[in-house]
Structures are given as C-alpha cells and as structure tokens.
Homo-oligomer: A and B are copies of this chain.
Amino acid sequence: MTQANSSLLVVGSVAVDWVITPTAERKESVGGSATFFSMAASYFGSVRLVGIVGTDFPKQAVEDLRSRGVDMAGLEVVPDGLTFRWKGRYHANMNDRDTLETQLNVFETFDPKLPDAYRSSDLLFLANIQPDLQLRVLDQVERPRLVGLDTMNLWIGTARAKLLEVLKRVDVLMINEEEARQLTEEPNLVKAAAMIAELGPKSVVIKRGEYGAMLFHDGQIFAAPALPLANVIDPTGAGDSFAGGFMGYLGRVGEMTGEHLRSAMIYGSVLASYCVEGFSYDNIAALDHAKIDARYDAFSRLTQFERATLG
C-alpha cells in the first residue's frame, strides 16, 4: 500500500469518566471523543488533537497520547480548571447506558483555537461538540481533503439550524441510527441516509452499536458487522475509536474511493472492537500493526461467503 502521510486533525472532548458496568467500575477513567479518536487513529499516521482540560487531567494520559505520536500542542490546559466529567452506568446487555452525571466544567467555555500549523491539515474530524464550535473550527482551516463529523441527539434537538450549516461543509457524517431518524424524521434508514446526503455529506456512516455500522456512499450500501466478543469490558469510546480507525485509514491511503471507504469501515470496526475489550483506552493504547491486521482478517472470516446460484 502507498502511504499518503496525511495529517489528521481532531477537535473534540477530552474527559475524565466514571464508568460503571454490571461487573466492574472505574473512577477517573480517561475518556473523551478526541482522546479515543486520537489513540485509534495514531496507528495510521500523524494525528493532531485540539481539546480542553483542567489541571486535574492526568498527566499520564497526555504522556500516553504523546508517546503514540499524537501532537498535543492543541490541548488547552485551563489553570485551576476542572476537566469535563461524565459518569454512566451500562445495562446488562452492555449496549444501553444511563448517564448518571455530567459536569461540563472547562468544556462549557471551550472555544477551539487551532495552532497555526494545524490550519492546513489534510483531514479534519469534528467530534461530537456544539455545532457552533464545529463551525468555528471549519472557519480556521484551509479546505481539508476530507471533513468527518459526529454529532448527537442534543444538538439535533437544540441546535438544528447550526448543525445544518455544518453539514453543508462535511464529507462524511457518522451518526447513530436513532440520531439519523431524529435528524430526518424518517424511520426508514435507507431513506434517512438518502435525505442526509442531500444535506451535504457525500457519505453517511450509520452506527448501530453491537450490530455494527452501515456506509451509504455513491448509491451503494456497505454493511460492516461488529465482531461478536465474549468479553466486553467497557463500551465507552467505541464510536470514537471507530471514527479514529476510519479517518486514520482514509488519511493513510489518501483517497476516498468506495473500496477504501469499505476498508476504512472495517479498520474502524477493528479499533472499536479492541476498545471495548478494556477500560478507557487501555486496550487500544497497546496495539500494533500486526494485531490490527489480524483482527481485520477476523472480520474477513466473519463475513465471507462463497458465490452460489440456483439458476
């Protein structure tokens, strides 16, 4: 494979979580969309992070990301500030969860400022933050080759107009299935994806948690299952790790053909599957290319079937 050596910028949350599952619990678990994204994408090429934390954010986490090659120059540390904190509890199925507490803290006044060197990034991922902030990031970059976007039910409900503005400037939207239905007010996902494509994004990725993800691109649909796992430890960050693997791979190959997009869906699924097998980013911080390739092959075996005909 030829490598494009693209630069990939992510803007999103950096957080400290308190994660409770049916069998275990971790307080002070490092989280945040930009964190998981960067860690996952770091295996594919260079990554730049823009986010905000307080002085309570573990220095070890910054070190972990830096040692994976993530450029942390864009991480703003607010003196005497407290990091964004989320506390949640997963149900027995490890798919549904309840948010028990959210403290925005320094995230409330987040105004992403890109270091000059970041403005010409080849790819940009706008992780799930206020659409207004996403617009401000778009205004600071020269036109990247590829812009990816995540959003959530809250912004669809409360900041729809701004979100629609953002969508016009986006190439790939990653959204979960309930959000796709909410955004379009259309229960059928095939129709919903077509409606979203009319709003701007050339490609739409619909995430379905433990059921995998679907890509709608160029009139084609690609379905990537999730890898069935016997031991799911902590689903937090799976979607962001998916996005990191997906965008990372596209940056690495440097072009957005249908074939590369499908492989990107699988690399995203690989990173998500590794992510949920540990708390925080424990598991995806300890990968290498061989482990990633091995699991890519596992996805091939999971989905492969022979041609057959009755005719």
A302 to B221, CA, bound (A): 6
Chain B residues near A229: list those with CB within 8 A.
188, 190
Question: B309 near A263 (CB under 8 angstroms)?
Answer: no
Binds B, one of A142-150, A235-243, A290-298: A290-298
A189 to B265, CA, bound (A): 23
Q: Does A307 contact B (CB under 8 A)?
A: yes
Question: A222 near B311 (CB under 8 angstroms)?
Answer: no
Smallest beta-carbon distance A179→chain B, Å: 14
Query: Can you list 13 A-B contacts (CB < 8 A)?
Result: A1-B308, A44-B310, A92-B187, A188-B231, A189-B228, A211-B212, A223-B302, A252-B310, A259-B305, A292-B310, A296-B308, A300-B305, A300-B307
Chain B residues near A231: list those with CB within 8 A.
188
Report which of B94, B188, B211 forms a contact with A232, defined as CB distance below 8 A. B188
Smallest beta-carbon distance A290→chain B, Å: 6
Per-residue 0/1 for A81-125: is the Cβ within 8 Å of any B Cβ (1 yes, 0 no)? 000000000001110000000000000000000000000000000
Question: B188 near A310 (CB under 8 angstroms)?
Answer: no
The 9 closest A-B pairs by CB, nearest first: A223-B225, A262-B305, A211-B211, A289-B310, A190-B230, A289-B311, A263-B308, A92-B187, A293-B309
Chain B residues near A187: list those with CB within 8 A.
22, 92-94
Chain B residues near A1: list those with CB within 8 A.
308-310
A213 to B78, CA, bound (A): 49
Per-residue 0/1 for A278-305: is the Cβ within 8 Å of any B Cβ (1 yes, 0 no)? 0000000000011011001100111111
A134 to B309, CA, bound (A): 33
Question: A263 near B311 (CB under 8 angstroms)?
Answer: no
Smallest beta-carbon distance A90→chain B, Å: 11
A297 to B267, CA, bound (A): 24
Chain B residues near A300: list those with CB within 8 A.
305, 307
- Contact A223/B309 with A94-B187, A188-B232, A189-B228 known, Cβ cut-off 8 Å: no
